[in-house]
Amino acid sequence: MTQPGRELQQAVTVGMATLTGFLMASELRQGDIVAQRYRIEHLLGMGGMGLVYQAWDNELNVPIALKLLRPELASRPDAFERFRQELLLARQVSSPHVVRIHDLVRHEAAWMISMDFVDGESLERRLDREGALPADEALRIAREIALGLAAAHHRGVIHRDLKPANILLTHTGEARITDFGVARSAGSTGITGSGVVIGTPAYLSPEQARADPLDGRSDLYALGLILYEMLTGVLPFRNGTAAEMLAQRLFRSPDAPDTLKPGLPTIAVQLCSALLEIRPAHRLQSADEVATAIASGRLAKRSSGQRRRFRRLGVALAFALSILAVGSVLVLRPPLLDRIIDSLQVTQAPFDLAMLPWRVDPDLLAAPENAGHAWHAAAEAAYVLLQAQGQSIEPIALMPRQLTERSLQALGFDSETAMRHRAQLMQTLNVERVLTVDLRKKGDGAILRVSLSHADAPDEPLQAEAPITSLTALGDDVSRLSTALLSQEGVQWQPAVQLASLQAILRDELPVQGIVDPAFWRARLESDLSNPPSESALQTAEQALSALPENKDLAAQRVRSLALSLLGDEQAEATLREALTSGPDPVLQYQLGLRLLDQGKDAEAREVWLQAAEIDHNNPEIWFQLGRLAIMTGDASTAVEDYLLRGLMLSNRVKDRRAQARITNAIGMGYRSLGQPDQAIDNFERSAKLWQQESQPDGEATALLNLGSELSLQGRFGEASAALGRAETLASELGDRSLLADVENDLGVLYEEQGHFDEALRSYRSALAHRQETGDASQIISSLLNVGFAYYQLGEFDNAQVYWQQAETQASQSRDVARIVQANHAKALALMARGEFPETARLIDEQIQQAESLQLGEDIPTAYALRAQWSLLTGDLNAALDASRKALALFEQRNDARGASEMRLLQMEIALDSLDPRAWSEAATRLEQLPPDSAEQQAKWHLLLGRAAQQEAPEHLTELLEKARVDAAAAHSLPLQAETLLALAMQHDALGDSTAAVGLLQQARELVDSYPSVDLRLQLILASVRIRSPNAPSDYREARSLLQRIGPWRHAFQLHLAAQHLSAPLNAEALTSAVEARQTLLQRMPASMSTHFAEVSQRMLDQPKASP
């Protein structure tokens, strides 16, 4: 195979020869008069479109620049007319920062463009000379470029080839954009009719590289690259070949410029980020915005969908675009693209022989009365049967049909082209021999020619030919000639096509009777392979098992193993392994991987698929499965970079839309796991559109389901609702209860995120009903857990307990230990809310023991976190601190930021309850270094800061508590909303506003009535007693009854202390209980905190009128 580098060099050499001829033929001399108007002064240089002269306009008496166009631009009238129209469009652009085009003129046989003359140098030349520019100057130049672009974009003109060479700097440093000669109106793709993408490789936008429709945002991306280069002295994508750099640009944003040059102004770094977004919708949307941002020194706030951080995710270089650079034009040519990509891929495993698809003479295909179709059908059927037979021959290794055909597609070859390039083909396939079959018209009949090429002399094949007597004899004729040629090479294979098999293939009917030819059944099964198998594939598999005897014949054994795999038979793994002992077979290896995955043998499945990929590396399905498995096992980065992007490239190459849709959806899942929601959403949207184009409603519904779920998590509820609504419609039309259940489940999540817990409960219950009808035990358990959580959020703890108990029962019956642990966790939440503390402790201890013994990595930190919460609730600060530290360490090991923040918040609560300012300061500092990002955790944070301010800085308390109130409402958390109202009530009481305090207390009371958690009820009573509400005495009596039932409570000391203001005999009882509660707290407090707490709490007892 010709190496890509040599082809590139040959192309450049040809291009340079053309340019040399152009220079010699077109040179103008000083003083020459052009177009009876322009006097040539001297040659300025050569641009991407031709020679550039400085000239004098004799009519206007001004200096101008005159660009002599290269002759190939005018060689085709239609292309030149399009160019002329685009030039006239660009001529309308008027700005002090754009080099204005004057006219298109003709001189003898040449065409020229006259334009403003700029006395200075290009930005490219200055960067070459000086490297990075001072940041303020780089920003000034970028602003002037943006102003020039704004003028063009307002006229509907985009540049398409913005780069430093096309930015001219006057002697005063002013920037002007030139070379609008390749500009086009917005909406064009940036690709010519001949398939050439216009632009300079280093400065192409992602959408230009994909040949997508362009608008002004493509120029803004190029401006971002130019700004980055001015700031750092280098381009952001600079490592690797041009193809590899383009591939990087398609799938990631660059590192921030201040990683290369620290100390850059914030606006410069932010501007690069905003301009170099992969998706145009996430960039700044106009050049005016860029100019305004630079002038003001700050970037206007963008919506959450537009914000992003610089991504450091590497990209698989296998998904590369190859280029052929001629001057400043990037030419994307599929054959070269594929050859460069092939050089990046693994080496093909060797085979002895490859049989190419048969070539049928076009004259035969054009035969009248459907005879042409008969020729094609017979040739295809015989070819398929011989290939199927060859999968089980020994000792020769025949390259599988699918592998051969995918390799041809990768090269861009059909059978006829492949015959003309045997040497390149055999080098690519890495085979010793290639067998080709050619059916040709001769006179009134037809002849058959079989050729056998050897790697040592590929262009000197052995050949044999014979007249074709009949279509039904075609298989026999090919077999006879092939056997003769192979025997000359010492290959002992006698291919044969059974007539009954050939006729059955041509009839294409089910059921098939009386055929015991393994080649026939292999061909039929391989023609309908999908995952999951179609109904027809399952029917064929059952017939194959009935037709073929269970014996040691290798061919029959391989077919039977394939059929058993498609049927999901428990013997499939063993029979596949046995069949593969005789040699590799990528079809069977792929099936073995599926069976291993079904059994949870992830590592073995991965190893089998990697082995299959070494043989059949052009198979997108293998890379899809590897990517899917990597995501499932927590390695999403490898999934996207190494597997899925390679699979997508391969499916794009062969235009397999279904594979594209499936892999794109998986890439979305990968980006979701990597915490990159914008990329996830983009890929889910693409997948849904591809499935829609393929009229595959089940695939579209699945992609929409993922899209709706991700949009919901990002707070884009309107879009999420639309996506899930469409998915629900498709699932209903399909009558797919499993899919309907998934949609209803995600609708439940959507309603939950919006705080619509009643609607969430309805959706979860609907999902449960569908899953109970389908009988999927695992999904039923998930739905039972979800319904329970919906009830829990509504404060219906008894109902939640019922569903969680059902979930535990079903998990036990299914021996699903992980779900048992999750159900017990949920049950513990309900018991804790109801104040059944001893039973809660028992369940939590069981959960920790089970999770640790079974090494359930995700459940162990969750169990310790629950233990910490329970210990804090019961006032055991020592146990709470110990459990929270264990949970925090485990969450950090798993990079679970939300879990880690939860534990840091809990440690702040422990410090606050200990009344130890040193412990509080340490805990608060740790959280400030890694602040929480969820609304619920931010509400808790502000609430804790407010409680601390009550003791240290009362003037800030109201502000902090109002922030907490807003966050709690945004999080739709009833408990947090109630706690915040209670804190505000006590604050207003402290400020002397008793009316407001009582009003806030009443609002909190209504929330607590709807969410009757024992802890929340006791907090309500504590606030009622502190502000001396009219209900304080009766509330305190209720609290004493509750505390007698539940045992120790974290705020019992403060409650009893506050109750000393009540009248006798409650005040005396309160004092006794306060002393007891204080002693209980001291006994279960860390030693580092107990001394300080003892001193402070004693002073509080000695001064009962002081607020605790």
Q: In whole angstroms, give the CA distance from residue 676 to residue 713.
A: 12
Query: Which residue has tokens 């995710």?
Result: 313
What average pLDDT does the segment 627-633 reach?
A: 88
For residue 744, what is the enclosing H or E element? helix 737-753
Task: Name which of 443, 386, 447, 399 is nearest 425 in CA terms.
Answer: 399
pLDDT for 409-442, tens place per residue? 766 677 777 777 777 778 777 788 888 899 888 8
Residue 397 has pLDDT above 60, yes or no: yes
pLDDT for 239-273, tens place per residue? 544 555 565 666 556 777 887 888 888 888 888 88
Q: Which pLDDT value is given to residue 910?
A: 94
Alpha helices in 473-619 (DSSP H): 474-488, 499-507, 518-526, 535-547, 554-566, 572-580, 586-598, 602-615
Secondary structure class of 947 (helix, strand, coil) = helix
What average pLDDT does the segment 1048-1076 reach?
A: 92
What average pLDDT does the segment 348-376 reach?
A: 77
Q: Which pLDDT value is given to residue 474?
A: 83
For residue 42, what is the enclosing H or E element? strand 38-46
User: Which architecture, in CATH terms, is 738-812?
Assistant: Alpha Horseshoe (1.25)
Residue 1006 has pLDDT above 90, yes or no: yes
According to CATH, what is the number of the domain 356-501?
3.40.50
Secondary structure class of 757 (helix, strand, coil) = helix
Q: What are the residues whose beta carbons fall under 8 Å from the beta carbon of 645, sequence distance 6 or more?
A: 251, 315, 316, 318, 319, 667
Q: In whole angstroms, give the CA distance from residue 1046 to residue 1057.
A: 19
Q: In whole angstroms, give the CA distance from residue 797 to residue 621.
A: 47
Q: In whole angstroms, give the CA distance from residue 273 to residue 258.
A: 11
Q: In whole angstroms, give the CA distance from residue 324 to residue 450.
A: 37
Q: Which pLDDT value is given to residue 342?
A: 40
The answer to whether 287 touches 220, Cβ cutoff 8 Å, is yes
Residue 893 has pLDDT above 90, yes or no: no
Q: In whole angstroms, give the CA distance from residue 977 to residue 1000.
A: 11
| Lowest mean pLDDT across 164-173, 218-227, 611-620, 954-963 | 954-963
Cis-peptide into 467, omega within 30 deg = no
Percent of the chain with pLDDT over 90: 28
Q: Phi/psi at 66 (nearest 5 deg)? A: -125, 120
Q: Which pLDDT value is given to residue 872?
A: 95
What average pLDDT does the segment 312-331 reach?
A: 31
pLDDT for 514-563, tens place per residue? 788 888 888 888 877 766 677 888 888 888 888 888 876 788 888 888 88
User: Which architecture, in CATH terms, is 636-735?
Assistant: Alpha Horseshoe (1.25)
Q: Phi/psi at 354 (nearest 5 deg)? A: -125, 135
For the chain, which residues make up each domain, given as ranges?
28-116, 120-336, 356-501, 511-598, 636-735, 738-812
pLDDT for 67-104, tens place per residue? 776 555 555 555 566 566 657 766 777 788 888 777 77
For residue 120, what is the enclosing H or E element? strand 120-122
Q: Which pLDDT value is given to residue 78?
A: 54
| Lowest mean pLDDT across 137-141, 470-474, 700-704 | 470-474
14 compared with 75, residue with greater pLDDT: 75
Q: Which pLDDT value is given to residue 787?
A: 96
| Lowest mean pLDDT across 173-177, 278-282, 1024-1028 | 278-282
Q: What are the residues whose beta carbons fall under 8 Å from the beta carbon of 165, sequence distance 6 or more?
A: 47, 48, 122, 123, 124, 179, 200, 328
Task: Name which of 919, 797, 411 is nearest 419 in CA terms.
Answer: 411
Q: Which pLDDT value is given to residue 729?
A: 94
Task: Name which of 918, 903, 970, 974 is nearest 948 in CA terms.
Answer: 918
Which residues does residue 360 pair with via DSSP β-bridges, in sequence order? 439
Q: In whole angstroms, give the CA distance from residue 685 to residue 726.
A: 13
Q: In whole angstroms, give the CA distance from residue 278 to residue 313.
A: 13
Q: Which CATH class is domain 120-336?
A: mainly alpha
Residue 822 has pLDDT above 90, yes or no: no
What average pLDDT does the segment 757-781 reach?
A: 92
Query: Which residue has tokens 């490297």?
Result: 131
Q: Which pLDDT value is given to residue 119?
A: 81
CB-based burial, 942-953: b 16+ in 10 Å, e otherwise:
bbbbbbbbbeee
Residue 1026 has pLDDT above 50, yes or no: yes
Compute how many other C-beta atoms are within 10 angstroms of the C-beta atom of residue 332. Answer: 18
Q: pLDDT-derived band of residue 760, with 50, 70 and 90 as boundaries?
A: very high
Chain centre to alpha carbon of residue 732 = 28
Query: Which residue has tokens 């003001």?
Result: 296
pLDDT for 940-968, tens place per residue? 888 888 887 765 555 667 788 888 888 88
| Lowest mean pLDDT across 120-129, 650-659, 969-978 | 650-659
Q: Measured between alpha carbons, how far is residue 153 from residues 149, 213, 458 in Å?
A: 6, 15, 56
Q: What is the DSSP letter of 281?
A: G
The answer to whether 1022 touches 1001, Cβ cutoff 8 Å, is no
Sequence letter at residue 437: V
Task: Name which of 305, 319, 271 is nearest 135 in CA terms.
Answer: 271
Q: pLDDT-derived band of residue 187, with 50, 70 and 90 as boundaries?
A: very low
Q: Which pLDDT value is given to residue 394?
A: 59
Query: Which residue has tokens 């069949």?
Result: 579
pLDDT for 847-874, tens place per residue? 888 888 877 777 889 999 999 999 999 9
Q: Measured between alpha carbons, how far is residue 929 from residues 855, 907, 924 in Å?
A: 31, 14, 9
Query: Which residue has tokens 């999968």?
Result: 391
Compute how many other C-beta atoms are within 10 angstroms of the C-beta atom of residue 603. Answer: 10
Catalytic residues: 161
754 compared with 886, residue with greater pLDDT: 886
Q: Do domains 120-336 and 738-812 have the same CATH topology?
A: no
28-116 falls under which CATH superfamily? Answer: Phosphorylase Kinase; domain 1 (3.30.200.20)
Query: Which residue has tokens 């290269």?
Result: 70
916 compared with 1013, residue with greater pLDDT: 1013
Cis-peptide into 164, omega within 30 deg = no
307 compared with 756, residue with greater pLDDT: 756
Q: Which pLDDT value is given to residue 246?
A: 60
Q: pLDDT-derived band of residue 1106, with 50, 70 and 90 as boundaries?
A: very low
pLDDT for 326-354, tens place per residue? 333 333 333 333 333 343 343 444 578 88
Q: pLDDT-derived band of residue 370, with 50, 70 and 90 as boundaries?
A: low
Q: Which pLDDT value is given to residue 669?
A: 92
Q: What average pLDDT does the chain have?
A: 80
Q: pLDDT-derived band of residue 503, with 50, 70 and 90 as boundaries?
A: confident
Q: pLDDT-derived band of residue 238, with 50, 70 and 90 as boundaries?
A: low
Q: Which pLDDT value is given to residue 615?
A: 80
Percent of the chain with pLDDT over 70: 83
The answer to whether 494 touches 483, Cβ cutoff 8 Å, is yes
Query: Which residue has tokens 């977004």?
Result: 277
Residue 450 has pLDDT above 60, yes or no: yes
